[in-house]
Structure 1
Amino acid sequence: MNAFPLDAVPPLERQAPHMPSQGADADRGRTILIATDTYPPDVNGAAYFSHRLASGLAARGAEVHVVCASDRGPLRVENVDGVVVHRLRSAPLLVHPTMRISLPMGLGRTLSRLIGRIGPQVVHVQGHFVVGRAAIAAARTAGLPVVATNHFMPDNMFQFAHVPVRFRPGVGDLVWHDFNRVFARADRVTTPTRIAAELLAAKGFTREVEAVSCGIDLHRFQPQPQQWARQRFGLADRPTILFVGRLDEEKRLDELVWTLPHVLNHIDAQIVFVGTGGKRAALERLATRLGVGERVRFLGFVPDADLPQVYSAADVFAMPGVAELQSIATLEAMASGLPVVAARAMALPHLVDGNGYLYRPGDVRELARHLVGVLSSAELRGSMARASLALAATHDHRRSLGRFEEIYAELQRTPKPHR
């Protein structure tokens, strides 16, 4: 990563550094601006997807700029993985322990001037919040085509906003109304899965929505030696159930802890949680209360470069979340050759077909039964592993990059109506 010191770089409003094209035939000469409210080092699916999209397009020859909230507060511009990242002034998001939010005052003017300097052919927004809506407005003013991708469900915000359960349906309706109003201004709308597209239609969004998988890097995520991986992370050599992701409310991770005593009646197993979040302390207390504290390991934050080894340490991947529009972590686990046991909720059923089991959310005994079934049979794990690898192969991130390049090209060829 090459960071440009602030005193050496003019403000965003006046200048944006030029990032030369890398010469790939697929997207040579095209300049793309990706606008997102969350970007690494933020840890969430939308941030990871935005980074992979930006770096992937840059590697294929595009000039890519990302505009996002600063992870530290002050404005700065840096070159990360071949992408020019414009980090806007930000403040802590009071309802979230780690995220920051771009300051709305003057943001529209800043984005309009940035667009004027870098001259993108297309603007691709990754959400409808502060940066996303400002980027759509600025692009519309400049007459540029807009692609908008949704990664959001209201369930993802209820815990942090401390919305009481009885008010959540009403608050959700308001949030969806706001989403519909903002994304209706885009030329093309995508979301990771068909189920996610159907959800938007059910919430009153009347525009066509295309399902484009977030995709995964099949060269990085693939089966690796298990013994070495367990030693690498200091894990006991016993049957291992793995979860990777945020340790937050909508992931329903207490179900995994509640199920462990049932599993231990049959298999000498352990659960490994990878990630950070507001529910870790509660999960630790629950494990201690149930007498399984020694069989529940929390590895905390694991750098993205080390994630492939984490998956290889496990025997089965569990995803009890009920607000997954795709679940990148589940796809990475599948590409690593893991069977999957997942909640029958949202888009997860589309990732389970011969490679694992689905269970009714909240049914701890059914979850335990499926986990025991997988962990008890090496032959079953082998067949499910092969099915996971075959399904993961259909989500190669190069296909996703190629489809977005096609969408950008289609929009460039299509005359834009006056708005």
Structure 2
Amino acid sequence: MVKEVQKRKINKEEEIHISSSDSSSGDEKELMLKNPLKWWSLQGKRNPTETKRITLPSTIKLIYVTLAFVPRLALYGLVFALGQCCRAVAKLFCSSVGAPHLANKRILYISDYMPPQVHGIALRVSQYTKYLRSNGHEVHVYTCCVESRARTSFDHPTLPFVANPFNSGNQISYTAGIKLAWALGAESWDIVHVFYPNALGLFVLPACRWRGIASYCSHHVAMDDYANRYLQIPGSPLLQRIMFLLYNFLYDACYRWPASYWGDVNASMTQTFVKRHLPLAAKYSHVATIGSGVDTQRFQRRIPTNPDLLWLWCDSQCASEREALCKRIGAPTNAIIWLMVQRLAPEKDIHIALDALASLAQQRKKMNKELDVWLVIAGDGPAREGLEKRAEQLFTNDKNAPGRVTFLGAVPNARLPSLYRAANVFLTCSRSETFGLTVTEALACGACVALPRCPVFDELYGHVLPESWRYDADDKCGGHLALIDAAQAAASIEASAWLEANPIDASWSAAAQDLDRQYDQAVKRGKTKYTSLRSYVQKRLIHLGRASLLLVAFYFVLSYYWRNIYCAAQCRIFLPSLPKPVRALCILTFIIALEWCHC
């Protein structure tokens, strides 16, 4: 029997299929009324190739979050103010608050994403945290969840969150939480780093500006592309337009405007993305490029087999990795393997690769040749089921190209290096990337890549990689024919020799060091900007507060002593021959002397 495309197992919950057709619309409405939460959870399983539509439960969730957001924001503002009052009292009593600058920094990270969440931002935050802590800095991370086995006393998974409507496997925070509000108000920080997308900038950045703490905002996702893909209301273009305008307003009010106006530094992996995504950032803040990298101890094409021989190409291990992959997908060892590693979502445009492979199969069929290319897709997501059906329609009935597409599902990060080394070429069709971490990982493992032309990849690889490895995804034929040419060029022997002679060097340690330098510059700019006026006002307020406390203390002490001294003077117990005012003054002097000696 002809080998079919591998399919994932469908659990009992997935067997309930809700269709948008007229025949099942009544059942769908009945389920929505009886169990709206279950109905909402099943919406992403209707047809993963289509974008998720805004429906009644999502609107209810949005209203709930909005209603809960405002009072919680006010509560956290009170907690922040209480923390500031405690700091003021501590400074009045000459506490060590505001200690002199130390060699290491106290850094506050605020991010929705941390492992075990599978996301490029989660990996980035964890690597920055790892290397900055190894350099002696105190990095506190406030997030939604943290791996229990890797959690430290500096990790705080305390942010209130809801499920991400675009990716149900991840969580997004919508308010700061009591613990973060107290930390911002009462503790000392050198810099606060907010990883966007994040809804907490509306609270965190004004607090940092109030306290004069340097703030660093890094942007990692093009939310505009998500809105264009997911905010769809079929049959009502006017309502869809209104929802899109409302989404843009909320996104600007909670994300873009606070970061642009109150953030000291706005950064992303490319200058192109920052200028397009935050047009006002360059006017009101400093714009920078945040470093990226890979784990060079795992993602490498040369494997250290013998320390005395330095780095050698381990042919046997690489051959075994390729043999294992070929055996898994049912391909000969001399096959050409196209590899894709990404989340299976509509914005990734994976269908272009399927169309390209189908067109290549038709070309080989006309030449009476068998297709020698296999496409391997690693990853999971809402579009997987639709992509599997599409691949089955394209290749199952084609006797010239049976079983040419294999879906591996979610692959652990630790197993990705062997997957990259076993492939001939790495493909990506997404033009919504802000960096494309998997591209760097593939290049570090010695896999040549085929990339679409887009502003981000043009800035990153336009003058680095050969032009023949890139293709125009906006081609009139849909981009799949141009992808065939780029993939064949990247899979050639000349391409492997070029990459061997021009390796890509990108490590997280170097990226963390560069980020550390940017932190120092941001702190220095913040001191220059706020220190003069802030220190002058702060010193005057501290002196005024201390004087007020001393006056109040002296008033109560002297009132108490004067009442007792006056009574003693009237009884003529002490110094009977002296006038009453002189007796009172002498007794007061004696008591003050005793108190002074006691102190």
Bin of the TM-score, shorter chain as denominator length: 0.7 to 0.9
| Secondary structure of the structure 2 residue equivalent to 1:51 | helix
Give the deviation of 1:327 after TM superposition: 0.7
What is the Cα deviation at residue 318 of structure 1?
0.8
The 1:176–1:209 alpha-carbon spacing in structure 2 relative to 1, beyond 3 Å, is farther
Q: Provide the rounded CA distance (Å) in 1 between the counterparts of 2:510 and 2:384.
A: 36
Question: Cα 1:198–1:127, aligned 2, differ >3 Å: closer, same or farther?
Answer: same
The equivalent position to 1:315 in structure 2, one of 424, 435, 456, is: 424
For the aligned residue pairs, the C-alpha RMSD in angstroms reads 3.2
Q: For residues 277 and 133 of structure 1, what CA distance do their matches in structure 2 show?
A: 30
Alignment check: 8 A CA contact 1:323 1:346 kept: no
- Structure 1 gaps of 5+ residues are 1-12, 15-26
1:324 to 408, 412, 433: 433
Deviation of the 1:125 alpha carbon:
0.7
2:374 matches 1:270: yes
Q: Deviations over 1:10-58 (max 9, x none)?
A: xxx99xxxxxxxxxxxx95322111112222222222221111111211
Change (3 A) 1:329 1:140: same
Structure 2 CA distance for partners of 1:129 and 1:31, relative to 1, 3 Å:
same
1:23 paired residue number: none
User: Counterpart in 2 of 1:298?
Assistant: 407
Confirm whether residue 42 of structure 1 aligns to residue 153 of structure 2.
Answer: no
Structure 1 residues 160 and 230: CA distance shift in structure 2, 3 A? farther
Residue in 1 that maps onto 2:269: 192
- Which residue does 1:80 correspond to in 2? 151
Identity %: 22
**Counterpart for residue 381 of structure 1:** 496
| Equivalent in 214, 218, 225 of residue 145 of structure 1 | 214
CA distance in 1, matches of 2:301, 2:278: 38
For the residues of structure 2 that align with 1:204 and 1:410, how far apart are their CA atoms? 17
Give the equivalent residue in structure 2 for 1:3: none
1:121 aligns with 2:225: no
1:351 aligned to which of 456, 461, 473 = 461
Unaligned runs of 5+ in 2: 1-78, 83-101, 303-316, 396-400, 535-599
* Whole-angstrom CA distance in 1 between matches of 2:149 and 2:107: 16
2:326 corresponds to 1:226: no
**Per-residue deviation, 1:255:** 0.2
**Residue pair 1:275, 1:301 contacting (<8 A) in 2 also:** yes
Classify the secondary structure of the residue corresponding to 2:403.
helix
What is the distance in 2 between the residues matched to 1:307 and 1:81? 27
Look up the equivalent residue of 1:274 and give its one-letter code: A
Give, in angstroms, the shift of residue 171 of structure 1: 6.4
Specify whether residues 201 and 98 from structure 1 end up closer, same or farther in structure 2 by C-alpha distance, changes over 3 A only. Answer: closer
SS in 2 for 1:334: helix
| 1:78 to partner: Cα distance | 7.4
CA contact (8 A) 1:192 1:211 kept: yes
* Deviation (angstroms), 1:210: 1.0
* Cα distance change on mapping 1:35 and 1:78 into 2, 3 Å: farther
Q: Check whether the contact 2:113–2:121 (CA below 8 A) recurs between aligned residues.
A: yes
Whichever residue aligns with residue 90 of structure 1, its letter is F
Which deviates more, 178-187 or 229-238?
229-238
Please report how far the alpha carbon of residue 109 of structure 1 lies from its aligned counterpart in structure 2 after TM superposition.
4.2
Distance 2:270 2:382 in 1: 27
SS in 2 for 1:41: coil
Residue 140 of structure 2 corresponds to which residue in structure 1?
65
152 and 63 in structure 1: CA distance in 2 versus 1, 3 angstrom threshold:
same
SS at match of 1:70: coil
Structure-2 residue corresponding to 1:363: 479
Task: Tell me how far apart the structure 1 counterparts of residues 439 and 216 of structure 2 sit (CA, whole Å).
Answer: 26
Higher-Rg structure is 2
**Which moved further from structure 2: 152-161 or 281-290?**
152-161
Describe the SS at the equivalent of 2:299.
Answer: coil
Deviation string for 1:331-389 (max 9, x for gaps)? 111111111111101311232533451111131111112222333x32333224543x2
The alignment covers a number of residue pairs equal to 386
Partner of 1:100: 171
CA distance in 1, matches of 2:142, 2:481: 46
Q: 32-41 or 260-269, which moves further after superposition?
A: 260-269
Q: Is the 8 A contact 2:291 2:515 kept in 1?
A: no
The 8 Å contact of residues 338 and 427 in structure 2, kept in 1 or not, is answered as yes
| More deviation, 333-342/127-136 | 127-136
Task: Give me the whole-angstrom Cα distance separating, in 1, the residues matched to 2:110 and 2:181.
Answer: 12
Deviates more, 1:126-135 or 1:169-178: 169-178
Find 2:104's aligned residue among 3, 11, 29.
29
Aligned partner of residue 189 in structure 2, secondary structure: coil
Residues 83 and 108 (structure 1), Cα distance of their counterparts in 2 relative to 1, 3 Å cut: closer
**Kept after mapping to 1: 8 A contact 2:193/2:216:** yes
The residue aligned with 1:136 is 205
Counterparts of residues 270-289 of structure 1 (less than 5 Å): 270-289=374-393
Q: Secondary structure at the match of 2:294?
A: coil
Label 1:94 to 1:320 Cα distance change in 2 as closer, same or farther (>3 A). closer
Q: Secondary structure at the match of 1:347?
A: helix
Matches of 1:93 and 1:161, distance apart in 2 = 14
SS at match of 2:439: helix
Q: Distance in 1 between matches of 2:250 and 2:404?
A: 40
Secondary structure, aligned partner of 1:317? strand
Structure 2 contact 160–177 (Cα < 8 Å) conserved: no
Q: Paired residue for 1:217?
A: 295
Q: CA deviation at 1:241?
A: 0.8
1:343–1:358 Cα contact (<8 Å) kept: yes
Indicate how the Cα distance of structure 1 residues 110 and 293 shifts in structure 2: closer, same or farther if over 3 A, else same.
farther
Give the Cα–Cα distance (whole angstroms) in 2 for the partners of residues 305 and 109 of structure 1: 36
Deviation string for 1:173-198 (max 9, x for gaps)? 54663333121211111111122233
Which residue number corresponds to residue 396 of structure 1?
507
Deviations 1:188-237 (A, max 9, x none): 11111122233235577634411223222333211154332234553433
Please say if residues 314 and 338 of structure 1, whose CA atoms lie closer than 8 Å, have aligned partners that are also in contact: yes
CA distance in 2, matches of 1:77, 1:329: 26
**TM-score after normalising by structure 2:** 0.58
Q: Give 3-state SS (helix, strand or coil) of 2:193's partner.
A: strand
Rounded Cα–Cα distance in structure 2 between residues aligned with 1:162 and 1:98: 21
Distance across 2 between alignment mates of 1:135 and 1:301: 34
Contact 1:262/1:365 (CA < 8 Å) preserved in 2? yes
List structure 1 segments (4+ residues) > 6 angstroms apart after TM superposition.
163-166
Structure with more of its chain in strand, by fraction: 1
How far apart, CA to CA, are the structure 2 residues paired with 1:82 and 1:162? 43
